Amino acid sequence: MSVARYRERVTEVLDRVWDTQTANIEKVASVMAECISRGGLVHMFGSGHSVLPVQDMFPRYGAFPGFRPLMDMRLMWTNVIGSGGAKGLLWLERREGYAAVIFENEPIRRGDVMLVFSHGGLNAAGIEVLQEAKKRGLTTVAITSMDNYQKRTATHSSGKKLADVADYVIDNCVPAEDALVQVPGWKAPVAAGSTVSTVTIAMAIVAQVAADLAAQGMNPPVFVSPNVAGIPADNNTRVYEEYERLLKR
């Protein structure tokens, strides 16, 4: 029963994404393609579970240079409790003032794009990454839950939520509570939907950016699985080399 219920609920979420967010996804992809076409970078940031769509965009099979994960191990977890635990990162991502530290010694340049994933859109880390990016002359994009935006009060001292500081917003169409299945007798729902939604949106962006670049005559090296026939042995080495070249530009 619960398997069928999750399938039903997550399908509803994805249908809403396609029905209401396709135009936003295409617009954001166009902005990113324009940035990459002139040698810029699309930086991607998330903390906690929102690191997952960042990792899925690049580097992985089917991705290409131009996308750049902005990673901070202190805002990820390698444990549940204790050193590197989820408890610690949940504390840190709510602390104001840390985002500026993340930007130190990073190849973040005027004219680049900054994409932030955050289902809740309330934590200081994501909000301040976009604020810092805007100060530096980047175009900013948020992928977040607008249901959560409408239901929750801002917790950042600026009085803003993630969607308030982004130039472009894509709604992940997941309800504020994230978990999608109510189990009889349990007080709280289970089985989250935001990762499925945000990774789907992320892959749609990758696909559309590729199409937009191809329309401009560009053909960047694609990170390819060794299971794909006919790909030169040095293909993925070329991906790393091109990525390194973009970082040094």
In the chain, where the domains are located: 2-248
Q: How far apart are the first and last CA of the chain?
A: 54
pLDDT value for 98: 92
Residue 151 confidence class, pLDDT cut points 50, 70, 90: very high
pLDDT value for 21: 98
Query: Is it the case that residue 249 has pLDDT exceeding 90?
Result: no
Contact assessment for residue 216 and residue 36, using Cβ atoms and an 8 Å cutoff: no
* Predicted TM-score of the model (pTM): 0.95
Residue 69 confidence class, pLDDT cut points 50, 70, 90: very high
Query: Is it the case that residue 159 has pLDDT exceeding 90?
Result: yes
pLDDT value for 16: 98
pLDDT value for 78: 87
Query: Is it the case that residue 18 has pLDDT exceeding 80?
Result: yes
pLDDT value for 200: 98
pLDDT value for 140: 98
pLDDT value for 57: 97
Over residues 113-124, mean pLDDT? 97
Q: What percent of the chain has pLDDT over 90?
A: 90
| DSSP β-ladder status, 179-181 and 168-171 | unpaired
Over residues 66-90, mean pLDDT? 92
CATH of 2-248, one of 3.40.50.720, 3.10.20.30, 3.40.50.10490, 3.40.50.150: 3.40.50.10490
Contact assessment for residue 100 and residue 132, using Cβ atoms and an 8 Å cutoff: yes
Q: Show the tokens assigned to 218.
A: 């560009």
pLDDT value for 1: 73
Query: Is it the case that residue 105 has pLDDT exceeding 90?
Result: no
Over residues 15-27, mean pLDDT? 98
Residue 210 confidence class, pLDDT cut points 50, 70, 90: very high
Residue 217 confidence class, pLDDT cut points 50, 70, 90: very high
Instruction: List the single range of 85-94, 143-152, 194-203, 209-218 with lowest mean pLDDT.
Output: 85-94
Across the chain, mean pLDDT equals 95
Give 123-147 pLDDT, tens digit per residue.
Answer: 999 999 999 999 999 999 999 999 9
